A and B are shown apart, each in its own frame.
Chain A
Amino acid sequence: MNQDWLMGLIGGGLIGTSAAIFLLVNGKVMGASGLIGGLVDKSGLGNWQERAFWIAGLVVAPALMTLMFGLKPTNVTGNIPVIIVAGLLVGIGTRIANGCTSGHGVCGISRMSLRGIVATVFYIGAGGLTMIIFKHVLGVI
């Protein structure tokens, strides 16, 4: 098996296990956009500590790993206007749809939630279409 695919499977297993812990212990769906967005728009301040600790783990663990094992390239584009538009779209879109790759994707599909499956079809479809238009047709990314 391709090394990247194997690492994907192992990393994916960690992602799913982390979501399983959050569900079985804390009783909540581990959706990144909801956990972060609830602090930003103040709709989730009722359990702000839980959210803050989760975010701390999410930031610190990869930081320590890159310090120990070397930096991993993120390959983020240098095109700042594209980055700003993309960030706004991701922020607004995930909060309007009430979920992103972790909430709708991992947590939704695994319980056969129709909303999670439909959301995943649309965001992957829109992502694919974006690649066709902005990479292959317009050549801006």
Chain B
Amino acid sequence: MRNIAALIAGAMFGAGLLISGMTNTKKVQGWLDVFGDWDPTLAFVMGGAIIPMAIAWRITEGRKPALGGAFPEKPNPVLGRKLVIGSVMFGAGWGLVGLCPGPALASITFGGVGGFVFLLAMLAGMLMAPPLRAKLD
């Protein structure tokens, strides 16, 4: 059951990324390009995504997940340099090409050579991250 739910969630996520235009790097870079031809679409995507998720977090209060276990606890509001350095690195890469991890995978069957190379580099980066993360502790 966990796997079926994960498959459905993954499929809906992928469909949502495609429909919303987030697999189109031009739209993502358009959102970040405040001094160019600014495209506010990403704000509508974020808004549309945050509403059902905010309701979901409300539902979790005092309950347990449908398939058992426990809901993730709210992380301590500790910011730290890992959060800041990592987010700045991520944002820079996101701006350069216009892909983040979800859309990079969602578009792999139609993103051409560039999309494939990006995914490989991203996976390599994920493999390189743990020792770098340990150094920042």
A residues contacting B by CB (< 8 A) are: 4-30, 32-33, 36-37, 40-41, 43, 47, 49-51, 53-63, 65-66, 71-78, 80, 82-98, 100-102, 104-107, 109-111, 113-115, 118-120, 122-132, 134-136, 141
Contacts and interface: CB of A to CB of B under 8 A. Distances in A.
Contacts of A113: 74-75, 77
| Nearest 6 CB-CB pairings of A with B | A91-B125, A11-B20, A12-B48, A87-B121, A57-B10, A97-B86
Interface in B1-40: 1-27, 29, 32-36, 39-40
Interface string B103-137: 01111111110110111111111111110110010
Given A5-B41, A84-B121, A95-B133, A15 B95 contact: no
Interface of B: 1-27, 29, 32-36, 39-57, 59-60, 64-72, 74-75, 77-79, 82-102, 104-112, 114-115, 117-130, 132-133, 136
